[in-house]
A = this chain, B = another copy of it.
């Protein structure tokens, strides 16, 4: 074990002949206390928790941890200690980034669950770690307890992956599942999620796709070897999704999920986080509540599925402890090293798919003719028109599905369409990801 060779290390040898690895914890919230619990309870491990660093640490102290643990508010106490691995589960961008940098510079490896930080400066931190002969692992930063980072990086290292698709945000999945199964509105489902603690008071990070986008950037880097900025990926909110959309989706043999998708084609990376229709027979459709699921597709091995608990203290803590163990064995489950250099593709959201257009109109004769004319001018073929019976004429929902074409063509047509006087609200436009996302 690399770290144990350091002069300041207090590493000792356990009964089973393995060197002890000293662990310092930055952050003692839900995940932090779960990490402490696992480190304290799990048998046969060579990991020893030595420091816990948190603001107002006096209020955080618990009586179920060994009395010799140092509780502190000062990062300096950790930096000058014999800790081999610093575990960052405090979140946020600052002072977190500084503390991670200082830890690496102090000759400590780092394990972090911080998706925003890693998606923004993972490559930088990895270089810094290498420079100091340390490692930085971030398996917990995506999909909590689902071991997808190590799966892509190690288990599927022999493949040439070109596509990653998944449900990466449990909050969105919970809200959409609720709208689907209880027929409630988005607002009601969101309130319910907030009441249960599944959604924040400001839910934008989740429902607008920013959270999933950061995770997708990390997966694209680890699995597709593409260095992309999270901001380069188009996000669309799930807020306009209504229970009527699930009725229509079901009639098409589909459901609606927030899908994070990145697909490498030549020098282009097609990437987006958006609500989309997926077939009911796809593994993506059966993800319920706050579960996460990631599907990767490789040239040789085809599709592989990873699923499990995407959030929660204990599942996330499992990912953190797995990373500590890996780092302790002098390994990283992080970004691939020189073996497979990172590509820098052009990022676009201009997927070619079938499309779902849901209109709410003030009914009058000629609407379909009007829409069909604009679509045909855009060289877009209508696949089907569906109208649910029994709706008020002043607020009439109906559906047009389109044959396969580029999203940009549809968006151009919708710019004209949304200005038409019979439109009660802007058209809801979702891609239909059918026939291409099966694990079968």
Which of A239-247, A334-342, A414-422 faces chain B?
A334-342
Q: Which residues of B contact A145 (CB under 8 A)?
A: 159, 301-302, 304
CB A319 to nearest CB in B, in angstroms, measures 7
Assess whether A17 is interfacial by the CB under 8 Å rule.
yes
Which of A209-217, A308-316, A375-383, A402-410 faces chain B?
A308-316
Q: Which residues of B contact A139 (CB under 8 A)?
A: 155
The one of B155, B314, B329 that contacts A301, using a Cβ cutoff of 8 Å: B314
List A residues 131-162 near B (Cβ within 8 Å).
139, 145-151, 154-160
Assess whether A70 is interfacial by the CB under 8 Å rule.
no
The one of B151, B318, B339 that contacts A18, using a Cβ cutoff of 8 Å: B339
- Tally of contact residues, A, Cβ under 8 A: 65
Are A305 and B305 also in contact (CB < 8 A) when A338-B16, A339-B45 are?
yes
Q: Which residues of B contact A291 (CB under 8 A)?
A: 439-440
Assess whether A322 is interfacial by the CB under 8 Å rule.
yes
User: Taking each of A288, A301, A325, which has the highest tally of chain B beta carbons within 10 Å of its own beta carbon?
Assistant: A301
The one of B154, B281, B303 that contacts A333, using a Cβ cutoff of 8 Å: B154
CB pair A308 B439 closer than 8 Å: yes
CB pair B155 A150 closer than 8 Å: yes
Copies of chain A in the complex = 2
CB pair A150 B158 closer than 8 Å: no
CB A178 to nearest CB in B, in angstroms, measures 14
Question: Other CB < 8 Å A-B pairs besides A17-B338, A145-B301, 14 of them?
Answer: A41-B160, A43-B160, A43-B340, A44-B341, A139-B155, A154-B154, A154-B326, A155-B155, A157-B326, A283-B286, A300-B318, A302-B309, A304-B309, A306-B306
The one of B46, B159, B317 that contacts A318, using a Cβ cutoff of 8 Å: B159
Q: Which residues of B contact A326 (CB under 8 A)?
A: 154, 157
Q: Which residues of B contact A320 (CB under 8 A)?
A: 158
Q: Which residues of B contact A303 (CB under 8 A)?
A: 308-309
| Docked complex Cα distance between A138 and B250 (Å) | 43
- The chain B residue with its CB closest to the CB of A325 is B157
List A residues 1-35 near B (Cβ within 8 Å).
16-18, 34
Are A158 and B317 also in contact (CB < 8 A) when A46-B339, A145-B302, A291-B440 are?
yes
Q: Which residues of B contact A155 (CB under 8 A)?
A: 139, 147-151, 155, 319, 322, 333
| Docked complex Cα distance between A303 and B288 (Å) | 13
CB pair A300 B339 closer than 8 Å: no
List A residues 392-440 near B (Cβ within 8 Å).
439-440
| Docked complex Cα distance between A248 and B327 (Å) | 51
CB pair B302 A304 closer than 8 Å: no
| Docked complex Cα distance between A91 and B17 (Å) | 35
Assess whether A321 is interfacial by the CB under 8 Å rule.
yes
Q: Which residues of B contact A159 (CB under 8 A)?
A: 38, 145, 318, 321-322
Assess whether A265 is interfacial by the CB under 8 Å rule.
no
Assess whether A228 is interfacial by the CB under 8 Å rule.
no
Assess whether A289 is interfacial by the CB under 8 Å rule.
yes
Assess whether A331 is interfacial by the CB under 8 Å rule.
yes
Q: List the 8 closest A-B pairs by CB distance, nearest first.
A: A147-B155, A158-B321, A158-B322, A301-B318, A305-B307, A304-B308, A145-B301, A150-B155
Interface string of A41-56 (1 = CB under 8 A from B): 1111110000000000
| Docked complex Cα distance between A150 and B331 (Å) | 13
